[in-house]
């Protein structure tokens, strides 16, 4: 079958060479997500290796902050590499991003720990995380733009949907490699040095991807624009300095990617946290449940990408945001019912209540792990939060000592402000033991009982959440690519995508945990993704245009 100058076959389909385009772009992005997720999956172990000078709680907090740093800098990577991609070309830019990501990940695998290098070790670790985030910020926009500019009209949603699968495959691959290495070496050896192997393995994966990408040609749309001398001389100024385009960037963020991001991170990350922290299901089982849901849901990325070529990107993405927002609470309550019914039963028969003066209750968020919350209310809520015991709040008289009610039983807290460290620790331990003993007697379990869990229903509910992810994420690449002109497309689409996914989405677990700790309601953290998803639905419905029939040649 003869091919046209643009690389499309005469019948309008993509031939073998352009299937290679999709494969190479998607494969490289899988490896980049693999590298990125390794750190998050191994954060607890990395905290022990690189933040040894801190206490155990602070080690984990700093490890999570280093993980979050990768999300925080993604928009800056989008700006830097988006500009290069619009000036030099798509192919070479995302070739550079994968080299940066692969090198940074390999160096994490060989970086000496705190015991060898002291404070320089965590400093270098965070620097490498920042490089990973910058590279990821430039990778996605390049891959999505490159594939979309190769795709025939009417099939951009289908072909870019393969890129959308990459984040899920990257997470899945990282979990498999970690689990395989742990089983091969044993838990003790894995935590001592075996955790480095998954990072080193990434160099092989990235090497394969670089080799494949070296064989590719530049996007035909970009080549034509370059030959006609229509390239932008100042992509950043044109993209963000002119209101006509900046307005579209803002609408793309608030009316598309913000809601898409919170639905995605709730379905694939917050749900995992909910299973392990709120429902006390062991980590291995929780990971296997998520993996099973991912296997069921992943084909829907391609389905919804294909469907968006027929009914529109906007319709599917906004429908996903709305349906997810309306059903998140019942789905997560279903996870409790089928995952740890003892929690549900205990909360109904013996509800836990903190009775306290609201003025004595702090918002207990301490990112450096140094502050001590000593009021009687803070002491009570801290114990319940750490033990994962859900509770409600009731107002007490001003200045009254806080109490914890478990059913009809009342446990008095204590004021710790005037106590020395040893006395405060002793009183906290005694108070914790009383609360835990009473909660246990009332039926609140310390761990989920596998015999009472309904695993098929858990997988089904988690798969529904993943399908929501595929609805909002499958068509998003094509939608963003089509919003912007070729000369500034890489720059313009990358920024709203990475602000939405790096900031709105990436902090879903952190904000959700803070809200739960604040209110005591294990479902309260869902208000954040629900509100953001509804905001995106309204703004997208009213102000963002459908783009499926728009030409990419302009």
The domain 14-231 is placed in CATH, from the list 3.90.1150.10, 1.20.120.1770, 1.20.1250.20, 1.25.40.10, at 1.20.1250.20
How much is the pLDDT for 178? 85
Mean pLDDT rounded to a whole number for the chain? 84
User: Across 132-146, 418-432, 524-538, which has the greatest mean pLDDT?
Assistant: 524-538
The continuous run of DSSP H or E covering 35 comes out as helix 16-41
Alpha carbons 193 and 191: distance in angstroms, whole number: 6
Q: Do domains 14-231 and 238-340+448-554 have the same CATH topology?
A: yes
- Greater pLDDT, 147 or 253: 253
Q: Please answer whether residues 141 and 82 qualify as being in contact, where contact means their C-beta atoms are separated by less than 8 angstroms.
A: yes
Q: What's the token pair of residue 497?
A: 């995508």
CB 202 within 8 A of CB 39: no
Lowest mean pLDDT among 80-89, 262-271, 496-505: 80-89
pLDDT of residue 318: 98
pLDDT at 167: 74
Compute the distance between CA of residue 497 and CA of residue 476 in angstroms, rounded to an integer: 9
Q: Which residue has the tokens 């499926």?
A: 548
Q: Exposed/middle/buried for 456, CB within 10 Å: 0-12, 13-18, 19+? A: exposed
Residue 335: predicted pLDDT: 97
CATH match of 238-340+448-554 with 1.10.3720.10 = no
CA 268 to CA 362: how far, in whole Å?
A: 30
* Listed residue (177, 183, 176) closest to 196, CA to CA: 177
Q: Which are the contacts of 11, defined by CB distance < 8 A and separation ≥ 6?
A: 1
pLDDT single digits (tens) 421-469: 889 889 989 999 999 999 999 999 988 999 999 999 999 999 999 999 9
The mean pLDDT value for 53-62 works out to 60
Nearest to 206 by CA among 92, 41, 35: 35
Count other Cβ atoms within 10 Å, centred on residue 179: 16
Domain extents in the chain: 14-231, 238-340+448-554, 345-441
Residue 228 pLDDT: 61
Q: How many CA atoms lie within 13 A of 515 on its CB side?
A: 16
Helix (H, G, I), strand (E, B) or coil at 409: strand
DSSP 412: E
Query: Which of 2-11, 88-97, 116-125, 532-541 has the highest average model confidence (pLDDT)?
Result: 532-541
Is the predicted pLDDT of residue 302 greater than 90, yes or no? yes
Strand 352-356 relative to strand 409-412, pairing: unpaired
Q: Where are the beta strands (DSSP E) in 326-389?
A: 352-356
Tell me the residue length of the chain: 554
Whole-number pLDDT of residue 61: 61
Nearest to 213 by CA among 161, 136, 143: 143
Instruction: Report the C-alpha gap between 328 and 259 in whole angstroms.
Output: 13
The model's pLDDT over 146-182, given as tens digits with 9 standing for 90+, comes to 788 778 888 899 988 888 887 778 878 888 888 889 8
345-441, CATH topology level: Glutaredoxin (3.40.30)
Q: Is the separation of the CB atoms in 281 and 339 below 8 Å?
A: yes
* Cα of 423 vs its chain's centroid, Å: 41
Q: Are 195 and 42 in contact (CB under 8 A)?
A: yes
Ramachandran class of 546: left when φ > 0, alpha when ψ lies in -120 to 50, beta otherwise: beta
pLDDT of 517 > 70? The answer is yes
Stretch 96-112: mean pLDDT: 88
Output the pLDDT for position 11.
46
- Predicted structure pTM score: 0.84
Distance CA 554, CA 548 (A): 15
Chain-centre distance for alpha carbon 332: 18
């Amino acid at each position: 079958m003869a091919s046209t100058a643009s690389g499309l076959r005469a019948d309008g389909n993509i031939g073998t060479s352009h299937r290679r385009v999709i494969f190479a772009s998607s494969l490289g992005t899988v490896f980049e997500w693999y590298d990125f997720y390794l750190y998050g999956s191994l954060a607890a172990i990395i905290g022990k290796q690189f933040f040894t000078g801190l206490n155990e709680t602070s080690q984990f907090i700093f490890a999570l902050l280093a993980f979050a740093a990768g999300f925080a800098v993604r928009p800056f990577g989008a700006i830097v590499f988006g500009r290069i991609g619009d000036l030099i070309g798509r192919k070479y830019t995302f070739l550079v991003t994968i080299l940066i990501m692969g090198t940074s990940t390999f160096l994490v695998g060989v970086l000496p720990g705190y015991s060898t290098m002291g404070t320089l070790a965590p400093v270098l670790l965070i620097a490498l995380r920042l490089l990973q985030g910058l590279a990821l910020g430039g990778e996605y926009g390049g891959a999505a733009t490159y594939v979309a500019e190769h795709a025939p009209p009417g099939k951009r949603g289908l072909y870019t949907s393969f890129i959308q699968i990459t984040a899920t495959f990257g997470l899945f691959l990282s979990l498999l490699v970690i689990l395989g290495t742990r089983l091969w070496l044993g838990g003790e050896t894995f935590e001592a040095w075996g955790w480095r192997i998954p990072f080193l393995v990434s160099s092989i994966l990235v090497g394969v991807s670089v080799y494949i990408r070296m064989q590719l040609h530049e996007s035909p749309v970009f080549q034509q624009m370059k030959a006609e001398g229509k390239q932008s001389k100042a992509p950043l100024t044109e993209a963000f300095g002119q209101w006509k385009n900046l307005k579209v960037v803002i609408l793309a963020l608030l009316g598309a990617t913000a809601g898409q991001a919170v639905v995605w991170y709730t379905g694939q990350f917050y749900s995992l946290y909910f299973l392990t922290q709120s429902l006390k299901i062991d980590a291995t089982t929780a990971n296997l449940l998520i993996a099973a849901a991912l296997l069921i849901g992943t084909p829907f990325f391609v389905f919804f990408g294909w469907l968006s070529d027929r009914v529109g990107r906007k319709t599917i993405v906004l429908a996903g945001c709305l349906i997810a927002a309306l059903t998140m609470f019942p789905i997560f309550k279903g996870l409790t019912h089928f995952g740890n019914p003892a929690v549900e039963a205990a909360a109904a028969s013996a509800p836990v209540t903190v009775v306290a003066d609201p003025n004595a209750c702090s918002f207990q968020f301490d990112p450096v792990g140094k502050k001590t919350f000593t009021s009687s209310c803070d002491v009570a809520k801290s114990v319940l939060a750490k033990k994962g015991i859900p509770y409600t709040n009731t107002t007490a008289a001003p200045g009254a000592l806080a109490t914890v009610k478990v059913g009809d039983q009342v446990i008095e807290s204590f004021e710790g402000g005037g106590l020395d460290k040893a006395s405060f620790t002793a009183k906290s331990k005694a108070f914790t033991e009383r609360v835990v003993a009473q909660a246990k007697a009332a039926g609140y379990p310390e761990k989920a009982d596998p015999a009472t869990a309904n695993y098929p229903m858990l997988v089904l509910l988690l798969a529904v959440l993943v399908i929501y992810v595929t609805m909002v994420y499958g068509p998003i690449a094509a939608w963003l690519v089509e919003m912007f002109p070729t000369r500034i497309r890489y720059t313009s689409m990358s920024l709203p995508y990475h602000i939405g996914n790096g900031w709105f989405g990436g902090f879903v677990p952190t904000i959700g945990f803070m809200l739960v700790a604040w209110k005591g309601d294990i479902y309260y953290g869902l208000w954040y993704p629900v509100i953001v998803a509804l905001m995106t639905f309204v703004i997208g419905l009213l102000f963002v245009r459908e783009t499926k029939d728009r030409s990419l040649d302009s």
